[in-house]
Amino acid sequence: MQALLNVILPVFIVIGFGYVAVWRTWFSQSGVDGVMVFAQKFAIPCLLFYAMVNLDLEQGFDWRLLTSFYTGALSGFALGIWGARYLFKRDWQDAVAIGFCCLFSNSLLLGLPITERAYGAGALTANFAIIALHSPLCYGVGITVMEVVRACENGVRASLFNVLKAMFSNALIVGIVLGLAVNLIGLPLPAPLSEAIALLGRSALPAALFGLGGVLAQYRPQGDLRIALYVCVVSLAIHPVITLILTSTTGVSVDATRSAVITAAMAPGVNAYIFANMYGRAQRVAASAVLIATGLSVVTAWMWLNVLP
């Protein structure tokens, strides 16, 4: 219970502030849009850039950690597509959008602050290694599969240009790629520039959490509730269980296991809705799944913190 009070609730209280502010019209929806644009296109890319520049690549990129986490994520993607198509009889494009909800856990806005509050800032090396690949890999998989499905339905070949354009128009991916490039080259950043980027990065999580609450206030649980709950089960239970089994059997360190499982156990991120909205497919299911799973994460995150060593 102490973990719930000290680690999880502060994160969700900030989300709650954003939710109530918009719900009570103390803060406008256009204002929330501005906060999210600032967070997603400027502050979070700066946070990721700074983290990648300072990441110990040899220590952080443990193939066992990344294989464990992303096997769970891709299994969730496959289960999401399969369930949407064969259990709930959605068309293939809807199925891919719903699968993306099961693929894209909220590694940044929930996984990062909960891990930091539970285990300290020094425990985030594995989180940043996961995050470095998260947007590029998840968007790459989701966009590629969606473009192939759309091309097959339209009787044309999928365009590699469309896939790459969609990926590298994402500011998060740009921040990660630039940060890794600076790290690999060994280019030292001038101190004033480094501090300015770090300062912007420190504003990322509180701004994004507040904005997430405001975004969620604009949605209502609607659409097919059963399939939204199916997404919640895959995201909050199946993904972290697969990750925990694989990290345990491959000898991943305790610290890295904690980061991987907590990140895997997070609700689908707002990017799940952004992906669905980008293609105009299954938006109501995505919005409902994000809203319901984020609420359930208060309890499930506490459960996982008690399960982990």
The pLDDT tens digits of the residues spanning 203-238 come to: 887 887 788 788 778 776 665 789 999 999 999 999
pLDDT digits (tens, 9 = 90+) for 261-307: 999 999 998 778 778 877 888 878 887 888 888 888 888 888 888 88
When divided into structural domains, the chain yields a total of 1
Give residue 217's pLDDT: 82
- Give the span between the Cα atoms of 22 and 57, in whole angstroms: 41
Q: Is residue 181 part of a domain?
A: yes
Give residue 263's pLDDT: 93
Angle at CA of residue 62, ends 57 and 66, nearest 5°: 115
pLDDT digits (tens, 9 = 90+) for 188-210: 888 888 899 989 888 887 887 78
Percent of the chain with pLDDT over 90: 28
- Give the span between the Cα atoms of 240 and 258, in whole angstroms: 10
Q: CA 243 from chain center: how many Å? A: 16
Q: Is residue 230 part of a domain?
A: yes
Q: Is residue 86 part of a domain?
A: yes
Q: For the whole prediction, is pTM greater than 0.85?
A: no
The CATH number given to whatever domain includes residue 280 is: 1.20.1530.20
Average pLDDT of span 246-254: 92
Q: Is residue 1 part of a domain?
A: no
pLDDT-derived band at 243 (thresholds 50, 70, 90) equals very high
Q: Is residue 2 part of a domain?
A: no
Average pLDDT of span 110-125: 82
**Segments forming the whole domain that contains residue 262:** 45-203+223-307
- Give the span between the Cα atoms of 233 and 102, in whole angstroms: 9
Give residue 96's pLDDT: 96
Phi, psi dihedral angles at 145 (to 5 degrees):
-65, -45
Give residue 307's pLDDT: 87
pLDDT digits (tens, 9 = 90+) for 14-40: 888 988 999 888 999 889 888 888 887
Q: Is residue 7 part of a domain?
A: no
Task: Name 105's bridge partners.
Answer: 268
Helix (H/G/I), strand (E/B), else coil: 105: strand
Is the four-CA dihedral 139, 145, 148, 150 of positive or negative sign? negative
For 200, the token pair is 């912007």
CA distances from 42 to 39, 154, 261, 297 (A): 6, 36, 28, 27
Cβ 7 vs Cβ 117: under 8 Å: yes
Give residue 115's pLDDT: 87
Q: Is residue 16 part of a domain?
A: no
Q: Is residue 141 part of a domain?
A: yes
pLDDT, greater one: 211 or 72: 72
Amino acid at 267: A
Mean pLDDT, the chain, integer? 84
Average pLDDT of span 160-181: 74
Q: Is the pLDDT of residue 82 over 90?
A: yes
Is the four-CA dihedral 139, 144, 147, 152 of positive or negative sign? negative
Average pLDDT of span 71-95: 95
